[in-house]
Structure 1
Amino acid sequence: MSPTKPIKYSTISILSLAHMLNDMYSNYLPQMLPFLVAATALTTTRAAILVSVFTISSSFIQPLFGYFLDRQGKRWLVHVGTLWMAIMLSLTGLVHNYLLLVVLAGLAGLGTAAFHPQASTMITVVSGDRKAVFLSTFVAFGNIGFALSPLLLVPLFQTYGLHATIYTVIPGIFVALLLFFFAPKNDVLGGNAPTLLEVLHSLRSARSELLTITGIIAIRSLAYTGLLTILPLYFQAQKLSSIASSHLVFIMLFSGAIGGVIGGLISDNYGRKPLIVSSLILSTPLFYGFLHSHGTLSIVFLALAGASLLSSFSVTVVAAQEAIPNNKSLAAGLSMGFAGGIGGLMVIIIGRIGDLYGLSSAISILFFLPLVAGIIALFMKSRPSAKAGRLSARC
């Protein structure tokens, strides 16, 4: 057994657990929305703005953190970022002013913006030639955290009210301490820090490929964030109970976590582009199948749609890192952050459509978007699969 393996797997385990908690917080505000709407008569547009502000602040700042981390490798950002987000979100149920709520959402987003580029770069550096598989595992834990949010938070808010948000800081404190003592040291990144000129040269040389990947992620992010925002409101309008609604969202997100791992395995064996194109194009008919069916069949369609939509999540991050391999944190920031922020910003438009034309119209648009992203993915650069690279290296 290689002596590096215990370090590799312990790093992946610690960071994946932290990612699960981090993304549970990232799906915090959508679970509050039905309760906020009931308590304050919040419009769909204002609800979408609240989620978008968190998404934007957590996303657009990520490339800046990514560039900073490529140069500095600041380990402390993973635990400070997690604790910061936990504190900000735990205060949201205690305020009654909408503008203050928006400010807290924006401040909370900075925490996850600090966490993701550093943590994802640590994962890819220790993953050898299995980057997509291990990053998919890391992402899968994040998606499990997303999936657990409705199961844990909806019963909490329903039983104790929105003031119970103050108690949700406790898991954040626990994981921040775990990261403080056990996260890998700065030297896990290694290598020389890139200069600004080197970064600009990397971006220019890969601009066409990065623009394509960014477009794919932005549209997929709009569909994903939009569904997280609109689906609970749609289920509420369909007279589903909060608990039943949370179960359906859990099914979609948990299936997405499983799909992410499977997608990583497939992309390592058959290439990034085929996986991204096929999974996104397949998502749209599966989502429409959910919308136009009933009972168990409808739930099966929703699970398959969630798995298909999120199976390319980590694969697009790895594709961006392969496009600019000397700037992995910046690539993670661009793909997980900036592109996702563009999608988050556009959710406000979807919310407005929901107010003007009904939530069913907004949902139908969101279901159509993965097909658009899949068509754009046809223009991605084709690269040899990781499996092909391993085989050629042995020859």
Structure 2
Amino acid sequence: MNRRGVALVSTAHVADDFYQGAVPALLPFLVAERHYTYAAVSGLTLAATFLSSVAQPAFGWLTDRRPRRWLIPGGMGLAALGVALAGLMPTYPLTWVVIALSGLGVAAFHPDAARAARQASGDSNRAMSIFALGGNVGYALGALVTTPVLVWAGLHGTPVLLAPAAVMIVVLVLRLGPVLDGPSGRRARTASPAVADEWPAFLRLTGVVVIRSIIFFGITSFVALYLIARLHASHVVGGAALTVFLVAGALGTLAGGWLADRTSALMSIRVGFVLAGPAIAGIVLAGNLAVAFVFVALSGIALYIPFAVFVVLGQDYLPNRIGTASGVTVGLAVSIGGLFNPIFGAVADATSLRTSLAIVMVLPVLGLLVSLTLREPAVRRNRRTQPTQGPPEPPPDAVERE
């Protein structure tokens, strides 16, 4: 594991996903200052998230044809520029366009960043979990920093938000090549994998990612409302429950990488689903807020345990198409899961929030059953069965590795 490489790419992930988190924080100010309707605000959310997720496999396909590492700083720069311009645009269509451009920048960043993270991490799931955690931290910081900036300066203060990307882009341009490839910045040749892509297994994995995403959106959309309606929590306490879920999820991300390194990626995924069902049931059945918060935290841990592992496993199933695998598991499959969320809303309107969450509660069983159809990727099986040989000579410009 190239520790400096993991640290650098993970920090870049923080800076990039900062702009994903900044968009939701912008929306209340757009409503207040420009009097946008909720439908208009939903359109901006769609531009920032769904369009970005759908575009990620396309960027992954491009990077599979030829790695384009410049997309890491370039995508980040576009993501930052879109957010910075959003507060300056005079009309809604122009605001929508720049928000969409920001989403495309995020989409451009992720596939090659995931490739670089894999290069730095080697076979370490723990290192990839750190990379994934960087995105979670960046999203949280985006919301945390954007609100006080706009309270202080109004919408015309959005250019201030360019600062994190500007600093990180300079660092990436100067250091990314040398840190990943050695002091000369000369990339080592990567041998083609000795196995074919396993598309049937990858498609089943994509189904698992979609199921996890459906559960995730169901919890994050309705848990605060459920606690308010069922347990008479205040809006502040309901919001705090969502924060607890996301913070616990950060711990789950690291735990999932640790578990996968000590057992297997498939075991990490299955453990996450096994824990998720009872944890969500605990939320539904909790009789007071203290107990509910405990199960909210456990749900966050359980649902994030497989999060980083999905990326590594997808790359192992498609060893010849690392970018495509990253784009699908990080972007497209997640957004498809979000499309099911209106169904839960309709169920809640027709019956109750408790019924809607009860449906969410049984979905981990489906995720577990689909995950049981998966087997270890051929890349890893071959690696284990190859005869043991002495370590290869390191290149003269190799960086220090763990």
Equivalent position to 1:110, from 104, 107, 116: 104
SS of residue paired to 1:60: helix
Equivalent position to 2:176, from 176, 183, 203: 183
- Tell me: CA distance 1:387–1:68, structure 2 relative to 1, closer, same or farther (3 Å): closer
Matches within 5 A, 1:230-269: 240=234, 247-269=240-262
Task: Give the deviation of 1:313 after TM superposition.
Answer: 0.9
- Between 1:300-309 and 1:369-378, the stretch displaced more is 369-378
Task: Give the deviation of 1:116 after TM superposition.
Answer: 1.0
Q: Distance in 2 between matches of 1:379 and 1:394?
A: 30
Once the two structures are superposed, residues 120-155 of structure 1 have per-residue CA deviations (whole angstroms, 9 ceiling, x without a partner) of 11121232332x121111111222223334433445
| Aligned match of 1:379 | 373
Matches within 5 A, 1:264-283: 264-283=257-276
- Tell me: CA distance 1:231–1:150, structure 2 relative to 1, closer, same or farther (3 Å): farther
SS of residue paired to 2:201: helix
- Equivalent pair of 1:147/1:251 in contact (CA under 8 Å): no
Q: Distance in 1 between matches of 2:317 and 2:140?
A: 30
- Tell me: CA distance 1:241–1:388, structure 2 relative to 1, closer, same or farther (3 Å): farther
TM-score by length of 1: 0.79
Equivalent position to 1:311, from 291, 305, 313: 305
- Equivalent pair of 1:24/1:146 in contact (CA under 8 Å): yes
Task: Give the deviation of 1:110 after TM superposition.
Answer: 0.9
| Aligned match of 2:296 | 302
Equivalent position to 1:290, from 283, 290, 295: 283
Bigger share in helix: 1
Structure number with higher relative contact order (C-alpha < 8 Å, ≥ 6 residues apart): 1
Which consecutive residues of structure 2, in runs of 5 or more, have no partner in the other structure?
390-402
Which consecutive residues of structure 1, in runs of 5 or more, have no partner in the other structure?
none
SS of residue paired to 1:126: helix
Matches within 5 A, 1:138-217: 138-157=131-150, 162-184=155-177, 188=187, 190-191=189-190, 202=196, 206-217=198-209
Equivalent position to 1:16, from 5, 10, 13: 10
- Tell me: CA distance 1:75–1:392, structure 2 relative to 1, closer, same or farther (3 Å): closer
Once the two structures are superposed, residues 325-362 of structure 1 have per-residue CA deviations (whole angstroms, 9 ceiling, x without a partner) of 12222211221122223224444555666777777766
- Between 1:77-86 and 1:61-70, the stretch displaced more is 61-70
| Aligned match of 1:121 | 115
Q: Distance in 1 between matches of 2:383 and 2:287?
A: 43
Q: Distance in 2 between matches of 1:359 and 1:162?
A: 35
Task: Give the deviation of 1:207 after TM superposition.
Answer: 2.3
| Aligned match of 1:63 | 57
2:212 is equivalent to residue 220 of structure 1: yes
SS of residue paired to 1:190: coil
Matches within 5 A, 1:327-338: 327-338=321-332
Give 1:182's aligned amino acid. R
Task: Give the deviation of 1:377 after TM superposition.
Answer: 1.6
- Tell me: CA distance 1:370–1:164, structure 2 relative to 1, closer, same or farther (3 Å): farther
Q: Distance in 1 between matches of 2:297 and 2:72?
A: 31
- Tell me: CA distance 1:371–1:266, structure 2 relative to 1, closer, same or farther (3 Å): same
Q: Distance in 2 between matches of 1:354 and 1:101?
A: 32
- Tell me: CA distance 1:352–1:202, structure 2 relative to 1, closer, same or farther (3 Å): farther
Task: Give the deviation of 1:381 after TM superposition.
Answer: 2.1
- Tell me: CA distance 1:290–1:170, structure 2 relative to 1, closer, same or farther (3 Å): farther
Give 2:129's aligned amino acid. S
| Aligned match of 1:91 | 85
Give 1:287's aligned amino acid. I
Q: Distance in 1 between matches of 2:190 and 2:295?
A: 46
Task: Give the deviation of 1:388 after TM superposition.
Answer: 12
Identity %: 30
Q: Distance in 2 between matches of 1:93 and 1:355?
A: 35
Q: Distance in 2 between matches of 1:377 and 1:371?
A: 10
- Equivalent pair of 2:79/2:104 in contact (CA under 8 Å): yes
How many residues are treated as equivalent by the alignment?
379
- Equivalent pair of 1:150/1:246 in contact (CA under 8 Å): no
Q: Distance in 2 between matches of 1:34 and 1:372?
A: 37
- Equivalent pair of 1:223/1:366 in contact (CA under 8 Å): yes
- Equivalent pair of 2:273/2:364 in contact (CA under 8 Å): yes
Larger Rg: 2
- Between 1:50-59 and 1:285-294, the stretch displaced more is 285-294
- Equivalent pair of 1:57/1:106 in contact (CA under 8 Å): yes
- Tell me: CA distance 1:368–1:54, structure 2 relative to 1, closer, same or farther (3 Å): farther
Give 1:275's aligned amino acid. S
- Tell me: CA distance 1:369–1:167, structure 2 relative to 1, closer, same or farther (3 Å): farther
Q: Distance in 1 between matches of 2:152 and 2:348?
A: 28
